[in-house]
Chain A
Amino acid sequence: MSVKVAVLTGFGINCDRETAAVFEMAGAKSERIHVNKLVNGEIDLQDYHIMAVPGGFSFGDHLGSGRLMGNRLRFGLREQVRKFVNDKKPIIGICNGFQVLVKMGLLPGDDDISFEQTASLTLNDSGHYEDRWVTLEFEKDSHCIWTKGLTRMRVPVRHGEGKFVTNNKKLLDKWNENGQLVVRYVDPNQQYPSKSDELLPYPISPNSSWRNIAGVCDPTGLVFGLMPHPEANHSTWLGATWTRENLFHGEGEGMVIFHNAVNYAKSQFSIND
């Protein structure tokens, strides 16, 4: 048996192919599954070990990014998703997938998995959608199973609505204490570790996200979402400045995240393959 990954597709999800590919590169078996097949019961989510909500423009993001897809999952897959997390199975949302998980209330989430929205991702202060590479720094002591051992990573952001905010600032401190603020934008010219709550200037932080937050996890550390695209840096030749670097070509910096989840699933569910 291998680790099985359900990669959601449909309704404007765009990054399903590369997201499926990176899990395969990390040794899992991925399937691209149309959201409706899970909602109508044709496919049982519980047959999978990992769920991924890829990036894209679900429903065109016309009513706010991720909102309609978030509702489809919140209304159509509520119990299935809750059981998935209770079974200690990891979920990742990347870019639009992250927006979906936040809008449906799964991230930053709460202990009861109540699907109550407590944060949001709003329009970048720059006022526009943008594709540019950023440097991320990861929380050292987070219990997030996806980010274990990570320090820094270079990846592209490709979004217009990536500014992480909340209407209850006390929650920010709580999430911070819980180690849920797992990944932030940093200035690559600063020595590691340089994580800071001070707002970094554009374009080091591409969206003026509060506390430079690029991604968060839930209280269990199983559900993780981030605006940047680690799956877009799956190979060294996809880097922003690889032609300037002396490289031994192979897996790109983004792959660690996917290896982490696959390795976690292997050990958690005793899969030897």
Chain B
Amino acid sequence: MSSEIQRIEVTPRVGGGLRDVRGDTIKSQLKTDHNLEILEVRSVLGYQINHELSEVQLTKLVEDLFTDPVIEVGCFNTSIFDNKEAFSETPEAVITVGFKPGVTDNRATAALDGFTTIFPDLASKVKISTSVSYVFFGLGEVDLNWLADQLHNSLIETALIADSNDCAIGDWPEIQFPELKDIEYTPPSSIDLNVSDEELIEISEKGLLALNLEEMKAIQQNYLDKNVQARRKELGLPPDKPTDVELECLAQSWSEHCKHKIFAAKITHIDRETGENSEIDSLFKTYIMQPALDMQQEVNWLLSLFHDNSGVIEWTPEWSLCMKAETHNSPSALDPFGGAMTGIVGVNRDILGTGLGARPIANTDVFCFGPPDYDGHLPEGLFHPSRVMRGVHAGVRAGGNESGIPTVNGAIVFDERYIGKPLVYCGTVGILPRHLPDGRESHIKTPEPGNLIYMVGGRVGSDGIHGATFSSLELTDESPSSAVQIGDPITQKKMVDMLLEARDLGYIEVITDNGAGGLSSSIGEMAELTGGANLDLSKVPLKQLGLSPWEILVSESQERMTVGVDEKNKQAFEELAKLHEVEATIVGEFTNSGTFLVTYGKDVVADLPIEYLHDGCPQLNLESEWTSPIHRPIIFNEETSPKEMGNILQRLIARPNIASKEWWVRSYDHEVIGQSVIKPFGGVNHDAPGDAAVIAPIPGDTKGTVISCGIVPRYSDIDAYAMAAASVDEAVRNAVCVGVDLSRIAGLDNFCWPDPVQSKKTPDGRFKLAQLVRANRALEDVCRAYSLPCISGKDSMKNDATLDGEKISVPPTLLFSLMGNHQDVTKAISSDFKNIGDAIYLVGETKQELGASELAYMFQEESEGASGIGGNVPSIDTKRNLSAYKALTKAMHAGLVESAHDCSDGGLSVAIAESCFGIDAGAKIDVSSLLVSDDMLDSWGVLFGESLGRILVSVNPDSIEEFEKMMDGIFHEKIGTVGKNDELIIMNNESEILTASITELRESWKGTLDGGA
């Protein structure tokens, strides 16, 4: 028998055509990100098994489970570094990284599952943890502590270091088993709220409740009510004060994250320029919900708006679609990998929790980061943007790929103001049969009092306590590590498979996700449908014993759904769960008692009237005030040669905001499910950027769906109205480029704002709120004009980080996502030019609109601030744009258009270059007709301006006549032809204004974000 903790170590065989790719990847990433030259990096995977096992058993485990006999060497209870077959030379340094107790360890979960296959009888007694060791040769002068910091996140992981002396004497790092200790159970307590205002605030702040004084007072008042007190006496609850369970539950339900208090606030809005002084009663109701409800009157396909986990539209008579996007910003700042992964698998659950359960079929990912090459000051406690980017990307990749959901669309935006909080938007599209086999419409939940409440999937732990309230606060040095979680896609995948089967068998009456606020929100919200619920917290399966009732109620441990099941289907539902190896536990039942009654065994620990829980939160009163910011103008060099213009284009196209993201995008699976029609990249070399995704979700059927997005936070620097208008227009334009059916498009608004509430910490709160007002007004104006209802949305309003006493706020950012119908995907159009000699047209008007353009920011950086970003920011003419989009769509469906590409970041010249990449040839362009069309327009504006409503198309010479006829009355100009050689030449009549080589442009475009590994 060996000692209690058994250690197994595995390393790849190297030589003879075999490599340690994991080690090689670390080596090349250290080179790319830190310019560190290391001779060789190797990797070792470690497993710690917390149970006694015989040598025979360990040998079997190493041979049959932990080691691949063909490509790996493994050993147990002796160090692999002493094994000459694995390491012929002594390493210079070893850094071993393991998880801290309680952190999700997916490899360990898999290992335990594999262990169970081999030793089923032992499995229940065994615990496994994992570690990874990085082994260095030819390291040079490197501070090992610094290196260890690059290889682990101390918030969730521990690192041990063996330096060259340790290595010489064979003193190898041994990770302790991260034993999650049971905690001592704390029974519910009550909190006396009959205290001064200062003390109320203190209670809120100390408890991370994120409630303001008015809200605390509203709670205080409730417990002074005589009727309330009488009922509480009867239940055995402290009559005049809340229990900790109640206070926590209210804090979750009333959090900014769950209640969207800023969007629901009463706002006094002053516009210093127009003299407006008006009152807005809820931005959400006024500018988002009302327009959508008005549109719902006009059409029959808007099935479900605003009240479910995502909005649902009818797609075909047999199928409907839903879509939701979320942000996971704060967790991604603390642990980019875990935070982002939790984000993507979390939004997948919103889809699974829509109606009676939808199947996720496509993901979208939009990220905003600090520049990857940022070399400015980085406050203590922040990761470098390049590390945030790698981590977030890896998290979303793992979450999406392992779940079998294709990532079809996205964007990455860079700006220095995102170094404090990155924005991580994760979206998912789902599909539902219009009707279930039992005849019920699948978008309508059908709970009845008496239905059993199941918690399905993962268990509850102390991870993720206070996520919702934490995200409603700014990021500080004291942000709790418990707010960080790591997703477990496989546990979730098993649950998704099981629940979709249960749905089709008719077992599900109601279903929702356990996300922010955990059970308090999921059951609390569903209880509204029947008018009450009973929940027994002692029934909830736990990861660690001893959690107190309030912790069980609000924990946001992942991979859990709450499902209502009719008593008659109890047995069948549980058998199905067993088949899929999914945990499903009855934790309560729905009632019509009017209250959310929470017990812990026999003890009542909370009694919250449903109405009070949902409507008791007082409305905020806020003030906003708009004055236009003033910016220095852009300085243009009047004497710029055509060659130099080409160089400017080459520098512009290499900027991270425009540069190719191919390396990053290709590591997402965008084709699982076998439905990908227009892919992220197209063209002859598969490297030209697509505008929007088209998928055909039903195998063999040519009916499709378009998914696109728009995001231009830069414009907020001049006017958030222009920013929001441009975001919506970009999403629509992208969708038009691939041939969307404009009569059935639906949108999602995801606002990420810096704190817009005036306070000492935020002296410019009124201005930031005015930006929000303007953005909402743009959203309404443009969505109404385009008949584009917002069916779902979300806001994240505290995207500020205060670290080292330094406050960094994100620029006001709106992501607009679009989902639309495509009548026949075989008519879809891609962005790449198709044939040499095809005519190139620009549809839509070009104005002198360079304010806050990508070019302006480039000149600002290159001139170290001498050149400004001021000027006209792109304005919107929705009527003009819509007629152009409609006419172009008709021409596309008639087969008259060879390619279509959106003109956005970097303007017309960038769009032309990108379409050229797709045919691997140049183009000859003459922009004189555009310059003539507007007196104010100059070469800078025509080449790099970002006017909205413009699409670059190409047309076969034989189709020109018919195309012209169809575009009659629409602003469009023939501006050139697709060339045969590598040159891009842009002329104004007889004079050249820009020349460039497509090959060189492509190299620059691809070089910036090439991943480096």
Contacts and interface: CB of A to CB of B under 8 A. Distances in A.
A227 B526 CA distance: 44
Interface in A155-170: 156, 158, 165-167
B677 interface: yes
Given A132-B686, A158-B671, A62 B111 contact: yes
B108 to A, nearest CB: 8
B693 to A, nearest CB: 13
A269 interface: no
Contacts of B25: 127-128
A186 to B, nearest CB: 16
Given A62-B111, A231-B674, A240 B679 contact: yes
A36 B552 CA distance: 32
B114 A71 contact: yes
A148 interface: no
Contact of A244 (B106, B677, B684): B684
Contacts of A27: none
A1 interface: no
A65 B683 CA distance: 32
A22 B404 contact: no
B669 interface: yes
Contact of A167 (B70, B490, B580): B70
Interface in B363-406: 397, 401-404
Nearest to B67: A64
A83 interface: no
B677 A238 contact: yes
Nearest to B23: A127
A129 interface: yes
B110 A59 contact: yes
A120 B66 CA distance: 14
B22 interface: yes
B705 to A, nearest CB: 13
Contact of A210 (B17, B111, B404, B1011): B17
A34 B489 contact: no
B197 interface: no
Given A18-B699, A234-B700, A243-B682, A62 B110 contact: yes
A265 to B, nearest CB: 20
A165 B404 contact: no
B64 interface: yes
Contacts of A243: 678, 682, 828-830, 832, 834
A117 B67 CA distance: 12
Interface stretch (A6-14, A85-93, A176-184): A6-14
Contacts of B490: 11-12, 57, 59-60
A144 interface: no
Contacts of A165: 17-18, 70-71
A63 B117 contact: no
Nearest to A103: B68
B18 A122 contact: yes
A201 to B, nearest CB: 14
A59 B115 CA distance: 13
Interface magnitude class on chain B: 35 or more
B696 interface: yes
Given A62-B106, A62-B111, A37 B682 contact: no
A173 interface: no
B69 A63 contact: no
Contacts of A244: 683-684, 830, 832, 834
Nearest to A122: B71
Interface string A111-135: 0000001111011110111111100
Interface string A34-76: 1011000000000000000001110111111001100110011
Interface in A230-267: 231-232, 234-238, 240-241, 243-244, 249
A9 B110 contact: no
B826 A237 contact: yes
Contacts of B666: 130-132
B670 A124 contact: no
Given A21-B699, A57-B401, A131 B671 contact: yes
A132 B401 CA distance: 14
B980 interface: no
A117 B107 contact: no
A229 interface: yes
Contact of B674 (A56, A167, A234): A234
Q: Looking at A15, A25, A64, which has the most chain B CB atoms within 10 Å of its CB?
A: A64
Interface in B655-710: 666-679, 682-684, 686, 696, 699-700, 702
A131 B110 contact: no
A167 B106 CA distance: 29
A71 B68 CA distance: 12
B757 interface: no
A28 B981 CA distance: 50
B68 A12 contact: no
B114 A67 contact: yes
Nearest to B834: A244
Given A21-B700, A123-B21, A63 B66 contact: yes
A238 B682 contact: no
A117 B70 contact: yes
A64 to B, nearest CB: 5
A4 to B, nearest CB: 19
Interface string B717-728: 000000000000
A68 B1013 CA distance: 28
B825 interface: yes
A63 B828 CA distance: 41
B327 interface: no
B945 interface: no
A166 to B, nearest CB: 6
A12 B493 contact: yes
A17 interface: yes
A87 B494 CA distance: 32
A55 B672 contact: yes
A57 B64 CA distance: 19
A240 B672 contact: no
B497 A10 contact: yes
Contact of B696 (A15, A166, A237): A237
Contacts of A25: 699-700
Contacts of B66: 63
Given A17-B673, A122-B21, A249 B702 contact: yes
Interface in B106-141: 106-107, 109-111, 113-114, 117-118
Contact of A59 (B68, B113, B579): B113
Contacts of A235: 696, 699-700
A202 to B, nearest CB: 12
B580 A118 contact: no
B348 interface: no
Q: Looking at A37, A158, A165, A243, which has the most chain B CB atoms within 10 Å of its CB?
A: A243
A14 B673 CA distance: 8
Contact of A72 (B12, B117, B682): B117
A11 B667 contact: no
A241 B687 CA distance: 11
Contacts of B111: 62-63
28 contacts: A13-B404, A18-B672, A21-B674, A22-B674, A57-B401, A57-B402, A59-B110, A59-B113, A60-B489, A63-B107, A75-B117, A75-B118, A76-B117, A119-B70, A127-B21, A127-B24, A128-B1011, A129-B401, A132-B686, A133-B686, A156-B671, A158-B669, A236-B826, A237-B826, A238-B676, A241-B682, A243-B834, A249-B826
The 5 A-B residue pairs with the shortest CB-CB distance in the complex, in nearest-first order: A14-B404, A18-B674, A21-B699, A123-B21, A62-B110
Given A14-B404, A122-B12, 16 more contacts: A10-B494, A11-B490, A12-B489, A14-B493, A15-B673, A17-B673, A57-B401, A60-B110, A62-B106, A128-B25, A128-B1013, A165-B17, A165-B71, A237-B677, A237-B826, A238-B671
Interface of B: 12-13, 17-19, 21-22, 24-25, 28, 64-66, 68-72, 106-107, 109-111, 113-114, 117-118, 397, 401-404, 489-490, 493-494, 497, 579-581, 666-679, 682-684, 686, 696, 699-700, 702, 825-826, 828-830, 832, 834, 1011, 1013
